[in-house]
Chains A and B, each alone.
Chain A
Amino acid sequence: MISRRDFLQATVAASAIYGASGVGNWAKLAAQQALTQDQLLDFNAMGNVTLIHITDIHAQLKPIWFREPEINLGVGSATGLPPHVTGADFLKMFNMTSGTPEAYALTYQDFSAIAKTYGKMGGLDRCATVINSIRAERPEALLLDGGDTWQGSYTAQMTAGQDMVDVMNALKPDAMTSHWEFTLGIDRVNEIVETLDFPFLGANIFDNEWNERAYEPYKIFDRNGVKIAVIGQAFPYLPIANPKWMFPGLSFGVRQDNMAELVDEVRAKGTDLVVLLSHNGFDVDRKLASNVDGIDVILTGHTHDALPEPVMVGKTMLIASGSNGKFVTRLDLDVQNGQIMGFSHKLIPIFSDVITPDADVASLIDNHRAPHLDKLTEVIGKTDSLLYRRGNFNGTWDDLICNALIDEREADIALSPGFRWGASLLPGDDITREDIFNATGMSYPNAYRSEMTGELIHTILEDVADNLFNTDPYYQQGGDMVRVGGMGYSIDVSKPIGSRLTNMTLLKTGEAIDPAKTYTVAGWASVNEGTEGPPIWDVIESYLKRKGTVTIDPNQSVKVSGI
């Protein structure tokens, strides 16, 4: 385990920059055993630039439960470094105490119990209050949205993202970048982009045919006499991780050289501060920051990490603002003669019971939900167990989905993608249709049923594992491991592709998976066009209606080694 001292050497203390983060404030709050909106917003304002960062909202307009991961392994040079630190190690690294509001917001331990004390988090009406409060103090602040905004809920699904577009427009972002946005289809994306009052940035999005930029790469803002370049980087692996037939003709990629050229280009235009609004994922950004000079701040996204302090890579500051509307980051910078002379940072936790909703945004949200309210609130089942998804391997939400797939589709084995979005539910909670969509709402939901050999299943799992555990971050796609039902396996994360997975076992018989034998596999979210089957939410509804109340026992079928 990395000690706090080592960590600080690796991060802020190694920097010549003087600054402070919001951790101290949080510790104080814990001691007082009381939270107020003023305390959450309390900030040591400084300098001449304010950045507000929110990312990976996944269409969560309303407050939710969201349990942070228990297992979030780093490999190679990222081993043991933030954000690959969880639970008690996380609390130790950031000087926090278990059972406190910050422990609830940032870690998984005793989640069900503490959640009841501190309540749901997020809600874009609460985020609006925070953003407006910062803007009242700092009218020149930039609000930057890291993408994964328009997908992930029932209403986003039914309105093709319009609910999110309208609510975000009310928050008045200054720029955004993208990932899941493109799963609405290229025509819908471009239709929305036409209507936006702010740029939809994607420095790494190119037309496939002519290799020309498809969207604006950056925008230069003049705020308080400081020239700020905001470069946008979309998720590099969209055509690989998501269905490329939905946005034909577009090419993405990390394109490190392209980024270096753009940084030079904006520097040549006399910018004082270069900000990368990124959907690369944290480890990809860490490598990018070490290979490309001249980026002052990377607002990271995609991997849903929430860190209460910036991570320094050379002179570049990496900010991680969490997901699902749980957090808003405020970063004040003192920029003089093209250099950051100091900073003040706070990962503001959006405790929904503490922060007063902004009335205008609250009514906008409720207006969007009103036509769907009967469908949203219909109780389909109930859970006796904590349901969560986040973590490198199976979570209970996906165990439920896999159980439903095996039962409803009469399969031997079920596969559920390792998405990092998906809200949690507490033991005793009803499962409404809204809850099911929060875990499944997306545009390629069909639940396939297929025959696969044991060898093919092994190949698929090895392929996905390498997307997660390849020691070169540029080969990581930023999802978690595909979740498996009906089959157990052992995984050594330190091995190369092809040799990580062993002991694949069919759980219903206890027999080893035979490479030559054929198994019936059910799954959902295939990236291929024309996948047949009912949408996954119908499969889950049908299962829950039969079962009534579900209990998900802790999953013992994945054995992890090589950590």
Chain B
Amino acid sequence: MNLTRRQALAFGGAAVTVTLIPFKGAFASEVGDAAIAAFTGGATVSEGGIDLTTPEIAENGNTVPIAVSAPGAVSIMIIADKNPNAGVATFHFGAMAEPMAATRIRLAGTQNVVAIAKMADGSFKQTAHAVKVTIGGCGG
């Protein structure tokens, strides 16, 4: 798609440039899956047990606030499964630390934000939320 800055400005604004990166489907998931596999070493990952806070729709795809906590986790990895580089961050928690973290991430379009926690016993848990990156401008 040939989207000039002027065209983007006309309708929607800065969010357009991130929205229009098309869904990359299998390729992007593979990137995400590979990042998860590298973190878990291929171990089975169970669903739930992680409190992941994300907006439903990003106000600005370039800086999306997220927060994550997982009681009993020693580390938590954040994946944005359709970013060119799916691995966003990995937080490691010392024995005295509360396993929670908050940060801002950049999202290349609508996609799942996935949190994978490594628990003290070596097991893994994950939770995923869809975050939409939209053109906006027509509400109300």
Contacts and interface: CB of A to CB of B under 8 A. Distances in A.
Interface string B44-56: 0000000001011
A456 B136 contact: no
A452 B139 contact: no
B1 A180 contact: no
A460 B7 contact: no
A252 B56 CA distance: 11
B95 interface: no
B20 A459 contact: yes
Given A302-B140, A482-B138, A240 B59 contact: yes
A254 B56 contact: yes
A56 to B, nearest CB: 10
B6 to A, nearest CB: 7
Give chain B's interface residue range (CB within 8 Å of chain A): 20 to 34
B40 interface: no
B11 A479 contact: no
A420 interface: yes
B139 A477 contact: yes
B84 interface: no
Nearest to B10: A450
B65 A211 contact: yes
A87 interface: no
A243 B60 CA distance: 12
A477 B140 contact: yes
Contacts of A418: 138
B10 A452 contact: yes
A179 interface: yes
Given A528-B12, A531-B9, A237 B57 contact: yes
A235 interface: yes
B135 A453 contact: no
A463 B13 contact: no
A91 B49 CA distance: 47
B33 to A, nearest CB: 22
Contacts of A240: 15, 57, 59, 134, 136-137, 139
Contacts of B6: 450
A523 B11 contact: yes
A526 B136 contact: no
B56 A527 contact: no
A456 B1 contact: yes
Contacts of B19: 459, 463
Contacts, number: 127
B106 interface: no
B10 A448 contact: yes
A243 B39 CA distance: 40
Contacts of B132: 466, 475
Interface centre among B11, B56, B60 (most CB of A within 10 A): B11
Interface in B115-140: 132, 134-140
Contact of B134 (A179, A466, A474): A466
Interface centre among A180, A451, A477 (most CB of B within 10 A): A477
Interface centre among B6, B53, B132, B137 (most CB of A within 10 A): B137
A445 interface: no
Contacts of A242: 137, 139-140
A464 B134 CA distance: 9
Given A448-B10, A475-B132, A251 B59 contact: yes
Interface string B23-37: 100000000000000
A526 B9 contact: yes
Contacts of A451: 7
B55 A253 contact: yes
Contacts of B3: 453, 456
Contacts of A525: 137-138
Interface residues of A, number: 54
A478 B135 CA distance: 15
Given A251-B59, A456-B1, A528 B139 contact: no
A99 interface: no
Contacts of A19: none
A467 B139 CA distance: 8
Nearest to B15: A240
A478 B136 CA distance: 11
Nearest to B55: A253
B10 to A, nearest CB: 4
A239 B9 contact: no
Contacts of A417: 137-138, 140
Nearest to A244: B59
A419 interface: yes
A410 to B, nearest CB: 15
B7 A450 contact: yes
Contact of B10 (A243, A244, A254, A521): A521
Contacts of A420: 140
B140 A526 contact: no
A479 B12 contact: no
A530 interface: yes
A179 B11 contact: no
A408 interface: no
A10 B129 CA distance: 30
B140 A478 contact: yes
Contacts of B136: 237, 240-241, 463, 467, 477, 527
Nearest to B102: A211
Interface in A396-448: 415, 417-421, 448
A293 interface: no
A479 B139 contact: yes
Interface centre among A482, A528, A531 (most CB of B within 10 A): A528
Interface centre among A242, A460, A475, A498 (most CB of B within 10 A): A460
Nearest to A256: B56
Nearest 4 pairs between A and B by C-beta? A241-B139, A450-B10, A477-B139, A240-B136
29 contacts: A235-B140, A240-B15, A240-B134, A240-B136, A240-B139, A241-B136, A244-B60, A253-B55, A253-B56, A253-B59, A417-B138, A448-B11, A451-B7, A452-B10, A456-B20, A459-B1, A459-B135, A475-B56, A475-B57, A477-B140, A479-B140, A482-B138, A497-B110, A526-B9, A526-B11, A526-B12, A528-B9, A528-B12, A529-B13
Given A244-B60, A452-B10, A463-B135, 6 more contacts: A475-B56, A477-B140, A479-B138, A479-B139, A482-B138, A528-B9
